[in-house]
Amino acid sequence: MVTNKSDDNDLPEVSREQDVMSVDDLVGNADQKSQPEPQSASNGGTNYTPVNDRKPFFDERVIPDANLPTEYVEGVLDIANEGSGLLRPGFAGSDRDIYISASQIRRFNLRLGDKIGGQARRPKENERYWGLLKVENVNGEDIEKVGERPHYDDMTAIYPDEQIKLSTGKEPLTTRVIDLIAPIGFGQRGLVVSAPKAGKTWLIKDMISGIAKNYPEKNGGKKKVHLMAVLIGERPEEVTDIKRHMQTVTDGLGDVAASNFDEPPQDQTRVGELALERAKRLVENGLDVVIVLDSITRMARAYNLALPTSGRTLTGGFDPVALFPAKKFFGAARKIENAGSLTIIGTCLVDTGSRMDDLIYEEFKGTGNMELHLVRRMAERRVFPAIDVTRSGTRQEELLYGAETLKRIHTLRRMLDMVSDDERTETLLERLNKTETNEEFLESLKTA
């Protein structure tokens, strides 16, 4: 953090005609001692303030603290029902969160999921959080230059019509198979169906690596993609593994929003909600965002415990109301006309021995427009990637391939259909190993 000293000359004059704030609403007083954690997702947007009126300012309610040393802080805005909020540096709640007053949120029309940067003071005695004194930037843009923004739900959604290329060379074969069998487009809603120990984590890491290399956010080409990994109810060691991998392949620009399986279900679901709202704010600014969600099954399980019961119970003790928040998350993926896109690739667990997990898969089957099936039997024989090339595929794939490429893909599927079920994936992998790129492989089909 960069330490700065606030200057009295920068402070606006405060007259008695200004709004009178209650004592309980002052930063530094009783509000931080009993400040409730934000619990529910909302748009967070309020009355719009014209751009010309938006000047960096110190919240007039904390002017008595203006001479205190301040530090520059950043965090993702989480808004409580009362109107105030917290800036979360790492999506999950922690003692490093920064309190932001309701007046600042209203003044700058801040929304849930905005990334806010500004000057904050340290907590006083008996206070839990830092207090934000000055808002300087929103989503990386100077506060004076932030204009009126569209709302995500009001933007026009269209079919994905541009492919996200995952393959980066001869290896890994995982991304090459996906590009051929189940292509992913910008704005895709993809479902990775996997049994335990079928190579799901390796597949996720290969996908992240391929996107980061082909669409680098830093010093990239024409197309840049912001990567996010959302891990719900995950093992702590796996969270560390994904975080380090994301840090390496994206040069620290990718985000990982994670909750461990031993955390309360309310905390697990809140991490997912805040990560989704963050992605929406980026898409509103015209960016292409890819979320890898692991997993939809554990997210639905967490909502089943976190939400009040409806009195109805489905197979395996699952409450039907718990399906809607998870479906809302998955359904947020879309390509925006003449703007950015939000791509969500979610994993779904099967063959776990749990009737609840089977129910969740059945409810989500068909909601995506791309499905990738992993087979544990192949993984046990050490065939990687253990992708079922017959059951995997993408709807409207003709929008992602060129006419000539599509014709050769159809030829490939007809050729694989002549091979037995147990040998299809192995046959494809053997042929791919003999070529350097997918283009070379498809070209070889003409002479096969």
pLDDT of 45 higher than 60 = no
195 and 301 belong to one structural domain: yes
- Looking at the structure of the chain, the number of domains it has is 2
User: Which pLDDT belongs to residue 269?
Assistant: 94
21 and 139 belong to one structural domain: yes
Domain boundary among 90, 123, 149: 149
User: Which pLDDT belongs to residue 27?
Assistant: 40
User: Which pLDDT belongs to residue 221?
Assistant: 62
227 and 79 belong to one structural domain: no
Output the known binding site: 185-190, 197-202, 235
Residue type, 414: R
Least confident interval from 8-22, 108-122, 170-184, 351-365: 8-22
User: Which pLDDT belongs to residue 67?
Assistant: 58
User: Which pLDDT belongs to residue 12?
Assistant: 39
User: Which pLDDT belongs to residue 66?
Assistant: 52
C-beta separation of 226 from 282 below 8 A:
yes
Kindly state the average pLDDT of the residues 12-24.
36
Q: Both tokens of residue 227?
A: 């990567």
Least confident interval from 212-221, 399-408, 426-435: 212-221
User: What CA–CA distance (Å, rounded) separates 188 from 211?
Assistant: 14
133 and 187 belong to one structural domain: no
- With a CB cutoff of 8 Å and minimum separation 6, the contacts of 198 are 374, 375, 376, 378, 379, 386
Here the CATH number for the domain that contains residue 370 is 3.40.50.300
pLDDT of 15 higher than 70 = no
User: What CA–CA distance (Å, rounded) separates 73 from 1?
Assistant: 7
Q: How confident is the model at residue 148 (pLDDT cuts 50, 70, 90)?
A: confident
Kindly state the average pLDDT of the residues 167-188.
94
User: Which pLDDT belongs to residue 186?
Assistant: 96
Domain boundary among 149, 176, 193: 149
- Cite the DSSP H helix spans in 41-134: 102-107
User: What CA–CA distance (Å, rounded) separates 3 from 14?
Assistant: 26
User: Which pLDDT belongs to residue 37?
Assistant: 52
C-beta separation of 256 from 229 below 8 A:
yes
User: What CA–CA distance (Å, rounded) separates 97 from 337?
Assistant: 36
Q: How confident is the model at residue 162 (pLDDT cuts 50, 70, 90)?
A: very high
243 and 272 belong to one structural domain: yes
Q: How confident is the model at residue 359 (pLDDT cuts 50, 70, 90)?
A: very high
Here the CATH number for the domain that contains residue 140 is 2.40.50.140
- With a CB cutoff of 8 Å and minimum separation 6, the contacts of 135 are 56, 57, 100, 104, 108, 110, 116, 117, 118, 143
User: Which pLDDT belongs to residue 204?
Assistant: 95
pLDDT of 10 higher than 80 = no
Instruction: Write the pLDDT tens digit of every residue in 238-283.
Output: 999 999 999 999 999 999 999 999 999 999 999 999 999 999 999 9
User: Which pLDDT belongs to residue 9?
Assistant: 38
Closest Cα partner for 174 from 421, 423, 383, 349? 383
The angle subtended at Cα 330 by Cα 324 and Cα 333, nearest 5°, is 135
342 and 267 belong to one structural domain: yes
User: Which pLDDT belongs to residue 249?
Assistant: 94
Domain boundary among 149, 181, 208: 149
Output the known binding site for ATP: 185-190, 197-202, 235
- Give the pTM: 0.83
Q: Both tokens of residue 9?
A: 């000359």
Highest mean pLDDT among 119-128, 205-214, 357-366: 205-214
170 and 74 belong to one structural domain: no
99 and 179 belong to one structural domain: no
Q: How confident is the model at residue 149 (pLDDT cuts 50, 70, 90)?
A: confident
User: Which pLDDT belongs to residue 51?
Assistant: 42
Q: How confident is the model at residue 65 (pLDDT cuts 50, 70, 90)?
A: low
282 and 354 belong to one structural domain: yes
97 and 234 belong to one structural domain: no
C-beta separation of 271 from 76 below 8 A:
no
135 and 226 belong to one structural domain: no
Q: How confident is the model at residue 125 (pLDDT cuts 50, 70, 90)?
A: confident
User: Which pLDDT belongs to residue 448?
Assistant: 52
- Cite the DSSP H helix spans in 182-290: 200-214, 236-249, 265-284
179 and 39 belong to one structural domain: no
User: Which pLDDT belongs to residue 29?
Assistant: 42
Residue 22 is part of which domain span? 3-149
